[in-house]
């Protein structure tokens, strides 16, 4: 049997601290793309960045992250764009992802303020949920699929340790409520960290993480419209929380 593979790119928004933290949530967002679509998608991203260069004078090779749209930093700093213009551009980038890229996306939102046991590491919880959903996604495909994960730099040790654990011990709730162990079998190799400055794919993951963090049902604020996550509705993996409910395509834990 021929085995094919998906690629998953992931990034976070917020921080994992309990004390002196500026955010109530730690959010991970990722998107998956089939290996057969990778080159075509890269070409589309390059074409999009050239369009941004021609229309806004944003250098093609510059790193373009969510915070640049929100605060006018990075390559947007010298352009003199006002907040409305920057947010409009951010929305256009999200629309481009949803309408032009063959990807599927979802997010994990860890509500740190609802965790009573402060010995629990929100990063470990978030990555375990994300890896479990990726493994389930591969199992749900009509053909035998595997997946390789590319997190943004800074997550390497936590992600690697968590992935190695669930390959051997992946406890989930069974049909009758009792925990059962179903080791994750879909992952190829350890995660390979990416520097977002060198990867358009990782920059897209960063765009998604911020709007998932600030959407209705997670932790909205005035910096970005709370409905921007829904611009991605056509490419959301809504099965990730179909049973638990909550914001479309976002697993929230613990529930309120």
Q: Is omega for the bond preceding 136 within 30 degrees of 0, making it cis?
A: no
- Pick left, alpha or beta for residue 60 (phi over 0 → left; psi -120 to 50 → alpha; otherwise beta): alpha
Per-block mean pLDDT, blocks of 10 residues, the chain (256 long): 85 94 95 97 98 97 98 96 97 98 98 95 95 92 88 90 89 61 87 95 98 97 96 96 90 92
Determine the Cα angle at 171 with ends 169 and 176, to 5°.
145
At 178 the pLDDT is 61
At 80 the pLDDT is 93
- Say if CB 74 and CB 63 are below 8 A apart: yes
Question: pLDDT tens digits, residue range 165-193?
Answer: 999 877 666 555 667 667 889 999 999 99
At 155 the pLDDT is 83
At 244 the pLDDT is 83
Of 134, 140, 142, 123, nearest in space to 187 by CA: 134
- Say if CB 236 and CB 249 are below 8 A apart: yes
- Say if CB 251 and CB 108 are below 8 A apart: yes
% of residues, the chain, pLDDT over 90: 82
Q: What is the biggest distance separating any 2 CA atoms in the chain, rounded to whole angstroms?
A: 59
At 57 the pLDDT is 97
CA distance 29 to 153: 14
């Amino acid at each position: 049997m021929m085995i094919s593979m998906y690629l998953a790119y992931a990034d976070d928004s917020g921080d994992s601290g309990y004390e002196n933290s500026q955010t109530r949530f730690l959010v991970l967002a990722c998107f998956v793309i089939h290996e057969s679509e990778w080159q075509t998608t890269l070409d589309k991203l390059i074409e999009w960045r050239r369009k941004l260069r021609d229309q806004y004078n944003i250098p093609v090779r510059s790193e373009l992250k969510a915070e640049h749209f929100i605060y006018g930093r990075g390559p947007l700093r010298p352009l003199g764009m006002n907040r409305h213009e920057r947010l409009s551009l951010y929305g256009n980038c999200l629309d481009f992802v949803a309408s032009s890229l063959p990807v599927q996306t979802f997010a994990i939102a860890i509500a740190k303020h609802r965790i009573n046991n402060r010995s629990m590491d929100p990063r470990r919880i978030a990555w375990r949920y994300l890896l479990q959903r990726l493994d389930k996604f591969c199992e749900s495909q009509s053909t035998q699929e595997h997946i390789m994960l590319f997190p943004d730099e800074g997550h390497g040790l936590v992600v690697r340790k968590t992935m190695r654990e669930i390959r051997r011990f992946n406890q989930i709730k069974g049909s009758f409520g009792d925990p059962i162990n179903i080791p994750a079998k879909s992952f190829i190799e350890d995660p390979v960290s990416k520097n977002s400055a060198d990867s358009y794919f990782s920059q897209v993951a960063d765009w998604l993480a911020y709007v998932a963090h600030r959407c209705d049902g997670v932790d909205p604020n005035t910096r970005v419209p709370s409905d921007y996550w829904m611009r991605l509705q056509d490419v959301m993996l809504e099965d990730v929380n179909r049973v638990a409910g909550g914001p479309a395509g976002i697993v929230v834990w613990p529930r309120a």
